[in-house]
Structure 1
C-alpha cells in the first residue's frame, strides 16, 4: 500500500524517487509528490526537481520539473503512460532549449509548456511564473507549498507559440 494509492500518481509509484513529499496535501482529494521521477528504470534519465499533483479524477492536474534534453520529452510522455491529460498544466524546464525560447508542445490531448533551464530552481521559477508571494510561502510546509503551486498552475492561462515536437527539435 502506498500513500498515492487513490490518484494518478499510483501508477508512477515505482518511479518516484528521492521524495521530500509523497502523499496527501491540505486540499481535499489532492495527492502530490516532490522529488525525482525516473523515466524508465534505475539507470535512466529522470525528471529532476519534479513537483506533481493529482486530484481524484484521471491524470495529473499539475507537473513541473527539469529535463536534460528536449529529445527526452517523448520518453517522459511515454513514462507517464496516459497520466498527462487535457486540461492538466505541465511545465518542463529543458537544459538544451535556448534562453528566451518558450513554447507549448502537444502530445495527444496534453499540452506541455517547454521552458529553458539554466541551473535554476524549478520551485523558485514557478513562484515567479505564477506571481506567488515568496514571503508567505516560506511559512508553509511542503504540502502547502505544492498546493500553492498547483493552484497557481490551474489559474495560469497564458499561451506560448504552439509547436510540434519536430518543430521544437529544429529550434535547438
Structure 2
C-alpha cells in the first residue's frame, strides 16, 4: 500500500496545503496515491484550488495528474509556486478557470511543465472531466471515490490533444 510519505503529496501535506479531503489515500491502482479536496495555494489572502483531484505514484516527486478550479487566471502563478517542483513535464494538469472566456482553451507552460487551462462553466470539475475525457458516466456512478480518481487519472494520462500554446502574460492579456 502506498503511503503519502512516499509521494509528491508529502510536502503538500507537511505544508498544510491539502484541505477538506474527500479522499486522501491509496487508490485501486498499485502504487498510486490520490487526493480529492482543496489545495491551499496562499493563506493571506487565501487562494484555493477548489474541486481538486490529484494523483501521484509512490517513489515519484511529481504529481502525474492534477485538476481543479481557480477563480482567476491570475492565480496560476500561485498554483505553480505552491506545488513547487511537484509538476512534471509529462504530467497531465487540467485547470478550470472562472475568468477564461467560453470556448478559449490554452496550454500555458511554467518551466518544463504545461497546464491545460480551460473555461469553467458553473458545472462541477468532476462532471467537466468526465465529459472532457470521454468517460462513461454510468460506470463512474458505480465507483467509489478512489476508483473515480483512478478512472479520471487514467483518462487524463491518455489525453494527447494540444491547445494553443500561450505564455502566462499572453493568456492574462486575453482575459
TM-score strictly above 0.5: yes
In structure 2, distance between residues paired with 1:37 and 1:58: 17
Alignment match of 2:82 (pick from 79, 83, 93)? 79
TM-score, L = length of structure 1: 0.96
* Displacement after TM superposition at 1:43 (Å): 5.1
| Structure 1 unaligned spans of 5+ | none
Runs of 4+ with >4 A deviation: none
- Assess if the C-alpha contact under 8 Å between 1:32 and 1:146 holds in 2: yes
- In the alignment, what sits opposite 1:46? 48
Name stretches of at least 5 consecutive residues in structure 2 with no aligned partner.
Answer: none
Q: State the partner residue of 2:111.
A: 108
Deviations 1:74-122 (A, max 9, x none): 0100000110111000000000100110010000011000000121110
RMSD: 1.0
The Cα of 1:58 is off from its aligned counterpart by: 2.3
Aligned pair partner of 2:93 in 87, 90, 110: 90
2:158 aligned residue? 155
Aligned residues: 170
